[in-house]
Amino acid sequence: MKLLFSRNPNPRLAVAVARYLNAKVEFEFASPFAPGQAERYRPLNPNLSLPILVGSGNSLWEADAIACRLSRDAHSDLWRTGDDEPEMIRWLSWGKENFARACDVVHFERGTKQRYGIGPIDQHRVEEGLRDFRTAAATLEDALSERDWLVENSVSYADFRMATFLPFNDVARLPLGDYPSVSRWYRQLEEIDAWRNPFKGLDAPELPPVPGSPHEPRSE
């Protein structure tokens, strides 16, 4: 199988899962929206979004579906089954609709739009995202104050999915430090090599820098 990816948040998530599981996949950097590339990728995903897992005569798209498939193939409990599955699904569902969505709104304005020159920062949207982030982070803080991970006592895909946008917080500048249990949980996740640096050893061009960010190349 081949995993088509980029360095953007959801493809990064899929690569981190694959590296964590030592999945038997080949990694290929892809740019479906690059000029002249759409028709190559449209048969694999009509939405042209990444990640895409390409198998023998078929393709699977959406990071959650790919994580499920790779975890099952690896016989791993990263994707919980049995009695823990409803708890994992609860956090996946809540996280995508609340915590991760708020992170996405702020990151899109401060990060994605600036990387690709697609418009100025909409401060109203940033404030909306920050307000929703604080609401969701308070819920997450309460839950994580009583446990190390979201599901039982070990990392699960719920943790990976919840943290989708946090590796990009250098540009999003979400106030993660205001929530000590959430911060502790994320530091714990960052101790996992596959999460901290999923692209290690892969041919994966860097994202365009955000003007004014710490990672923007300086002119001499």
Residue 219 has pLDDT above 90, yes or no: no
Specify the pLDDT at position 132: 98
Q: What is the mean pLDDT of the chain?
A: 94
Q: Model confidence over 41-67: pLDDT tens digits? A: 999 999 999 999 999 779 999 999 999
Long-range CB pairs of 45-50, under 8 A, 24+ apart, other chains included:
49/10, 50/4, 50/5, 50/6, 50/8, 50/10, 50/11, 50/14
- pTM of the complete model: 0.93
Q: Look at residue 40 in the predicted model and tell me its pLDDT.
A: 92
pLDDT of residue 218: 31
| Whether the predicted pLDDT of 110 surpasses 50 | yes
**Is pLDDT of 215 > 60?**
no
Give the pairing of strands 26-29 and 2-5: parallel
Domains of the chain, earliest start first: 2-73 (3.40.30.10), 82-192 (1.20.1050.10)
**Residue range 154-171: mean pLDDT, rounded:** 97
Name which of 4-8, 115-119, 167-171 the model is least confident about.
Answer: 115-119
* pLDDT for residue 162 is more than 90: yes
Q: pLDDT at residue 216 above 90?
A: no
The answer to whether 176 and 169 have CB atoms below 8 angstroms apart is yes
What pLDDT, on the 0 to 100 scale, is given for residue 31? 93
Contact between 209 and 216 (Cβ < 8 Å): yes
Q: Which two tokens stand for residue 90?
A: 């609860």
Judge contact between 162 and 156, C-beta under 8 A: no
pLDDT at 214 over 60: no
pLDDT of residue 220: 25
Q: Averaged over 113-131, what is the pLDDT?
A: 96
Name the residue among 214, 199, 213 with its Cα closest to residue 14.
199
